[in-house]
Structure 1
Amino acid sequence: MAPIPHPPTEPQDDPETYVGLDAGEAERRARTRGWSTVRALPPGAIITMEYRAGRLNFEVKDGQVVRAWKG
């Protein structure tokens, strides 16, 4: 019998702490804090809305994070 899958764990990290950071610095910081996927998106980007544990999304305008959220 196959083992029961376990979803990846998420870091205990507040996405709001990334708002205002340079996009490159925000991504480096997120990866060191344990986020397995970091996605930088332009404002108004059309994206899929499925929730993925371990993913952190950034909305980036002019090289700066203006919004951040999990999933």
Structure 2
Amino acid sequence: MAPIPTPPGEPQDSPDTYVGLDSEAAERRARDQGWSTVRSLPPGAVITMEYRVGRLNFEVRDGRVARAWKG
């Protein structure tokens, strides 16, 4: 029987630490922390809701991260 694959890990930092940061600095920091995908979105953007391991989402208002969440 084939082994069950282990999903890739996720960085262990909290999305809340990105709120209030300049969006470009937040993206650099997220990539340095090991997030494989970083997505910056305007408020109210229509997005897919599937959960992706290793993805960090930012809602950006006036050049700053207003909200951040995994997936």
Superposition CA RMSD, Å:
1.3
Task: Give the letter aligned to residue 45 of structure 1.
Answer: A
Alignment of 1:1-71 (within 5 A): 4-71=4-71
Structure 2 unaligned residues grouped into runs of 5+ = none
Percentage identity across paired residues of the two chains: 79
| CA shift for structure 1 position 59 | 0.1
TM-score calculated relative to the size of structure 1: 0.92
Matched AA of 2:37? T
Instruction: Tell me the amino acid that sits aligned with residue 56 of structure 1.
Output: L
Query: When the two structures are aligned, how many residues end up with a matched partner?
Result: 71
Distance in 2, matches of 1:57 and 1:23, equals 11
Tell me the TM-score normalized by structure 2. Answer: 0.92
For 1:10, what is the secondary structure of its paired residue? Answer: coil
Letter of the 1:60 counterpart: V
**5+ long unaligned stretches in structure 1:** none
Counterpart Cα distance in 2 of 1:69 and 1:57: 5
Distance 2:31 2:4 in 1: 27
